[in-house]
Amino acid sequence: MFLGGFPLADQPWLILAVFLIVMAASVVQAGLGMGFGLTAAPLLALIDPHLVPVPTLIIGMVTASMGGWRERGSIIWPEVGIGIAGRLAGVACGALVLSQLEDRKAFMLVFGIMVAIAVILSLSGWRWAFSRFSLVSMGWLSGLMGTITSVGAPPLALIYQDRKPGEARPTLSAFFALGCAASLAGLALSGWAHAGDIYLALAMVPPMLVGIWVARRIGGRLDSRFRPALMAISGAAAVMLIVRGVM
């Protein structure tokens, strides 16, 4: 069995790293309703760029779906529909960008830049009033970034940060479940999704399930205290990806 072009059996420490990354990202996603991509994608891309965006999007879609289903009674579906309209436009733009990239090195450069933008948005403290326009606009940016990198949460977090967690978390979960599906469809149409990506995603299922179990065990103890560490790790990974793409 191969993971991103290298044999799993010959890379035990690499397997462990992937397991821990996906598990931690699943804890974040299950606890906050978003954040799987920002936690996992830049680190997985450093290990092997074949692990992103498609396999990570598949797992992100599954974790978001499970979180949304668990709190389905609290989902605000009209908001999901408006956001998805913007997401679809962003998916088209993201797929177009990827179709113009000639090799994995160029992909890593664009990937690193997009993750860096995601980190900057997360740290900016910028607040944008919630409205239909902001929901469509941030949905578009989420689609663009999510399709290229599988990191689509930061734009939506800007407009949902002041909403009640009991409403924001399930609504965002529903949005990301449908949004990831749209991004996967766009990647398939642009030639960036292949059958092998399914096997890579399946290899991430066990740590995903462990992460969801851990999230349920710790309950609401996942809070903003962990945010600086997450941003530091993601930011450092983004810089390393940019350097790899340039050199």
Flag the least confident range among 9-13, 71-75, 124-128, 152-156. 9-13
Confidence grade of residue 132 (pLDDT, cut at 50, 70, 90): very high
Mean pLDDT, the chain, whole residue set = 88
191 pLDDT more than 60 = yes
- Residues 222 and 27: their CA atoms lie apart, in Å, by 8
Confidence grade of residue 226 (pLDDT, cut at 50, 70, 90): low
- Residues 177 and 59: their CA atoms lie apart, in Å, by 10
Give the mean model confidence (pLDDT) for residues 61-87: 95
Contact between residue 57 and residue 184 where contact means Cβ atoms under 8 Å apart:
yes
Confidence grade of residue 96 (pLDDT, cut at 50, 70, 90): very high
- pLDDT of amino acid 221: 64
- DSSP of 26-62, one letter per residue? HHHHHHHS--HHHHHHHHHHHH-GGGTTHHHHHHHHH
Angle, helices 227-246/104-123, rounded to nearest 10 degrees: 150
Containing 66, the helix (H) or strand (E) segment is helix 54-70
- Residues 51 and 201: their CA atoms lie apart, in Å, by 8
- pLDDT of amino acid 29: 83
pTM of full prediction above 0.85: yes
3 pLDDT more than 60 = no
- DSSP of 144-168, one letter per residue? HHHHHHS--HHHHHHHHTTS-HHHH
| pLDDT tens digit sequence for 16-52 | 999 999 999 988 887 777 788 999 999 999 988 888 9
Contact between residue 112 and residue 60 where contact means Cβ atoms under 8 Å apart:
no
Contact between residue 233 and residue 25 where contact means Cβ atoms under 8 Å apart:
no
